[in-house]
Amino acid sequence: MKTSALAAGSLVLPWESALSAIQSQMAGKGRLQLRYRAYTLQLKHAFTLSTSSRTTTPVVLTELEYNGVIGYGEASMPPYLGESHESVLKFLSKVDLSRFDDPFQMENILAYVDGIEEANKAAKASVDIALHDLVGKLIKQPWYKIWGFDPAKTPNTSFTIGIDTPEVIRQKVREADPYRMLKVKLGRDTDKLLINNIREITDKPICVDVNQGWTDKQMALDMAHWLKEKGIVFIEQPMPKEKLDDNAWLTQHSPLPTMGDEAVQRLDDVLKAYQVYSGINIKLMKSTGMREAHKMLVLARSLKMKVMIGCMTETSCAVTAAAHLAPMADWADLDGALLISNDVYKGMQVVNGKVTLTDRPGIGIQKI
């Protein structure tokens, strides 16, 4: 690309000039074609939270083609999202992208997809991710470069350990040896026992995810002080998301940062979370994809909130897409593909515990 230049008194960035040229060349020369199929992820261990346990996760894999170039996307549906194979396939059957002859009109395309029906966030994310992958490939640049992020600034990713027996917990901690931070699921009456079991094995930094499992604010504060003594870094979604006042009170008094997860789905929720939590956990399956996740990131940073980039149990497709936001995050929890045994893509790698992006264009994945 050429160096940036002043034109008509305004600064034109290099990638904007390249994008304009490519867009002019391709406009009207093709149609967007959407394909999709159901798939089921097999988890290496039972994934147990404060309120549920499962060994599989339903996903839908999407492909978006334009002039022979294919972008890949994914919808992952953990139970609390309220989506399923059936609901996602039904939604995607209503998406008619043949009306668009210019994939670079991303705002128009994704606004159309968002307006088809309410909810269906993971289904919408599967189109959004595929479109970002496609456009990045057409520009021949990865999205972290298009956004202007420095890939060297990605954080370490945590490795998630669900609620389980002491023996299985120890096994999971040993499996997590390459990772520099652990994420531990809490929210039951065995919380202290679980943390003590892990601390017998490792002194690595730990973050905890309560998944709304604590119901009393004073008990939550007492736990926060105890967890601080155990070397915990932050607490994710400590109490039910409906308890705004209790969560705000805990955040005000807690010695540890609190992060909103279930309480923070889309862009409008960021302002609602301000001063209720110390920060937010952004996930593509909640935000409807990369477009809105990027907006959430920018808004949270402008409010000086902490930011975590997270994921569901997903293939390397959605996890890698989320990783492009990681250079601007305080923490990352991008281990979703590491928890499954039947990934179908290769993408973002974890090197010495650190989220490591490639320079492949789009979201940067390859089929296995």
pLDDT in tens, 218-270: 999 999 999 999 999 999 999 999 999 999 999 999 999 999 999 999 999 99
Quote the pLDDT of residue 27: 54
DSSP state of 182: E
Structure-block tokens of residue 305: 């909130």
Nearest C-alpha neighbor of 325 from the set 355, 288, 305, 366: 355
Please compute the mean of the pLDDT values over residues 31-48 and round it to a whole number.
91
Q: Hey, do 31-143 and 145-367 end up sharing a CATH topology, with the first three levels equal? A: no
Q: What percent of the chain has pLDDT over 90?
A: 82
- For 31-143, CATH gives 3.30.390.10
Confidence class for position 46, pLDDT limits 50, 70, 90: confident
CA 251/CA 265 separation, integer angstroms: 19
Contact 183, 159 (CB under 8 A): yes
Q: What is the pTM of this model?
A: 0.90
Structural domain spans, the chain: 31-143, 145-367
Quote the pLDDT of residue 20: 58
Angle among Cα 134, 262, 52 to the nearest 5 degrees reads: 105
DSSP state of 140: T
Structure-block tokens of residue 24: 């002019």
Which carries the bigger pLDDT value, residue 339 or residue 125? 125
Quote the pLDDT of residue 32: 96
- Fold adopted by 145-367: TIM Barrel (3.20.20)
- Whether 25 shows a pLDDT value over 60: the answer reads no
Measured CA to CA in angstroms, residue 360 lies from 141, 182, 357 at distances of 7, 29, 9
Contact 173, 199 (CB under 8 A): no
For the chain, the average pLDDT equals 92
Order across the sheet with 69-76: list the strands: 33-48, 53-66, 69-76
CA 318/CA 283 separation, integer angstroms: 10
How far the first Cα of the chain sits from its last, in Å, is: 31
Quote the pLDDT of residue 21: 53
Quote the pLDDT of residue 17: 56
Parallel, antiparallel, or unpaired: how do β-strands 349-351 and 354-356 relate? antiparallel
Quote the pLDDT of residue 165: 85
**Run of H or E including 38:** strand 33-48
- Whether 355 shows a pLDDT value over 80: the answer reads yes
CA 84/CA 82 separation, integer angstroms: 7
